Every structure is written in structure tokens, then in C-alpha cells.
Chain A
């Protein structure tokens, strides 16, 4: 079956531009996560949704980062006024059940380069 998909796969933005990154989770998955992976590092948690509710946004690095999942399916991560330090791979993951340690399935990521 289809896995988690993300678009675009690559994005180059000039410093100061706004970007929007899309995640399509596995159909029926309740939980959705966003992670940021800088070069040479492991993924770092940004935010978590259970259906349409954003239950944890403790990892968002600044108020320039905003995520939504209005209908409990597709999610968008928006970064306003991009900075060079925002350059990273942004990974989306989904899992089937909320509140239980079920496997998180990752998408291929969006590689963001801010010039």
C-alpha cells in the first residue's frame, strides 16, 4: 500500500521567503509527526497531531514555524521568513494508533536549502 508521501522533495528558498511543506500520511493513521534533520544529525521532533488536534508543538524552534492538519489527514508545515539555519531535511511520520507506542512510518522528507 501507499506509504507516507511528502512534497516537494526538494525546495530552494531565498532567505526571507515563506515555504510550505506538505505531508500525506498513510490513510487512516491517527497520529502525525514532523521532525527536522540537520546534516549529520538525527531527526529532532518538531510537532505532533492526533487527528486534527495539535497536541505537542514543543519542538518548533521559533514562532516562524507553524503546522496544521485541518481535516485530520494531510498536514502542512509552514516556515515564514526562512533563515539559513532552517536548511535541513523535514521528515513527516505517521502511526496508526494514538497514545500507544506503535511504529512510526516516515516519509522520504523534503530537503530545504535556504540561500
Chain B
């Protein structure tokens, strides 16, 4: 079983739609959580961190449920420019010196005009 699991999609949605992505992680002691965005043939870029209280950045809302080991990302009023792969990312507890990130497979979003 992979440490971070996501539905690979693709999610095909019309402009203006609301879309939600989910992710589960297996290590209950995981420390930090993120959503990264990766455009085709580009490098991943941090979209937002995810906090237990939930957090919002414009049209994007992230939620964390530690009891269920579940992370979500909600995108409201989808734009064509939101088309990308969304990567769920977990940072394990730093038992050593590493700050490595554990990535899910990514969920592909295609927003249609």
C-alpha cells in the first residue's frame, strides 16, 4: 500500500464548476501536509499547506482530518488555468534529520471551456 493515495482522475469539469480532490495517508504520525500543483512537463510548485483547522486561499480550500488520515482540496469556480495535476504531499515525522516529502500519484484536473 502506498503511503499517500489519491484518485488519479482525470477529472473533467466545465469552467465555473466546483471540484474536490481527496487523499489518504497511512502514517498516523505524519507531521505536515501540503497540496502541490504540477503543470504538464513542469516542476511541482507549492499550492498551499494544509492545517487541522482548515484553511482557505481565494478559491481554494484545504482540509485535514487527522483521525481519518484524510486530506482534501476544494476548488471553487474552476478556471481553465486550473488545469494541472494536483499532488497530495505529506512530510513524515522527523525521526532523523531528513525533511523529505512523500507524494501521492497526483490527480489530473482538466477544466473544459
Contact = CB atoms under 8 A, between A and B. Distances in A.
Interface of A: 31, 33, 35, 40-45, 48, 50, 55-56, 58-59, 91, 95, 98-104, 106-109
Contacts of A31: 99
B99 A48 contact: yes
A56 B43 contact: no
Nearest to A58: B98
A106 B43 contact: yes
A44 B43 contact: no
Interface residues of B, number: 23
Interface in B68-87: 87
B32 interface: yes
The main secondary structure of chain B at its interface with chain A is loop
Nearest to B102: A45
A50 B100 CA distance: 12
19 contacts: A33-B99, A33-B101, A35-B101, A42-B4, A42-B105, A42-B106, A43-B87, A45-B102, A48-B100, A56-B100, A59-B100, A91-B43, A98-B99, A99-B97, A101-B31, A101-B32, A101-B91, A101-B99, A102-B99
A50 B32 CA distance: 20
Interface in B20-42: 31-32, 42
